[in-house]
Amino acid sequence: MSEHIFRSTTRHMLRDSKDYVNQTLMGGLSGFESPIGLDRLDRIKALKSGDIGFVHSWDINTSVDGPGTRMTVFMSGCPLRCQYCQNPDTWKMRDGKPVYYEAMVKKIERYADLFKATGGGITFSGGESMMQPAFVSRVFHAAKQMGVHTCLDTSGFLGASYTDDMVDDIDLCLLDVKSGDEETYHKVTGGILQPTIDFGQRLAKAGKKIWVRFVLVPGLTSSEENVENVAKICETFGDALEHIDVLPFHQLGRPKWHMLNIPYPLEDQKGPSAAMKQRVVEQFQSHGFTVY
């Protein structure tokens, strides 16, 4: 049997493709160049090298996913299955659209002056952007060379896949600490807590800034003991932690679960009362944290 020879798809080959004229993705990815014509092996190789990334959507926002005006890119693929996930349509990487590294960098270049003027930059979110470390880290490195601020929105669950060099190009991490104990964390996400702690501590050791995000769900993450354990985890991040965001649970993601025919575990769940949120805020404040 003859040995398989890997066929690399080139730009010239793409331009010969009858689908090339449709390479500019519309809707949530308008303006990005997509590698139409890549076969499965091409995509696997390009994904590993960071030549392409699978993207769900992107937008420009202010003071939502980091400081200043930001380009937030929602990557496809996530290893966790959070009960309160707002974007279950990002769980599977294959449901995203492949986008060239060069196309992403050009998009950042287009907005670079705006980012610098407002103290903003680029944020990678998801899904879980850490599922595509080569692409995200290459884009971050290019952004840093332009003088653009970088922010990673992550659970930290896949932190072990990030090298120290990759961490170097992160200015800020929005770290989702979803629970303070392993049992609750597994119930909420299906995963394990320790990787989040480990990654936060790595960021702190590297001198990176951290904003912790904690989703407050009555009866699920709201117990005083769980909140206290989250606070103790945050203490291990030291001065790297700038503040904690207490995010009240809401039902904005429910229609997506229904649309995808996925059983929604929090169908009748209510958001926290003002009194409950205030209690949690004060718990964190008692540890000396700035809380929003």
For the residues 57-73, what does the mean pLDDT come to? 90
**Model pLDDT, residue 24:** 31
Between 119 and 7, the more confident residue is 119
pLDDT at 88 over 60: yes
What are the two backbone dihedrals, phi and then psi, of residue 123, each rounded to the nearest 5 degrees?
A: -120, 130
For the residues 206-231, what does the mean pLDDT come to? 98
DSSP, residue by residue, 54-70: EEEEEEEEESSSSSSEE
Q: Domain 55-285: give its CATH architecture.
A: Alpha-Beta Barrel (3.20)
Report pLDDT digits (tens) over 3-47: 332 223 333 333 333 333 333 333 356 667 666 666 778 778 888
Calpha distance 229→180 (Å, rounded): 4
Cα dist. 267→43, 216, 219 in Å?
37, 16, 14
- How many CB atoms neighbour CB 63 within 10 A? 12
**Model pLDDT, residue 6:** 28
pLDDT at 243 over 60: yes
**Model pLDDT, residue 11:** 34
For the residues 268-284, what does the mean pLDDT come to? 98
For the residues 114-136, what does the mean pLDDT come to? 96
**Model pLDDT, residue 28:** 54
Calpha distance 70→261 (Å, rounded): 32
**Model pLDDT, residue 33:** 65
**Model pLDDT, residue 37:** 61
The strand pairing partners of 53, in sequence order, are 99
> How much of the chain, in percent, has pLDDT values that exceed 90?
81
Alpha helices in 147-176 (DSSP H): 164-168
DSSP, residue by residue, 206-265: TT-EEEEEEEE-TTTT--HHHHHHHHHHHHTTGGGEEEEEEEE--STTHHHHHHTT---T
The structural domains of the chain, with segments of one domain joined by +, span: 55-285
Average pLDDT, the chain: 88
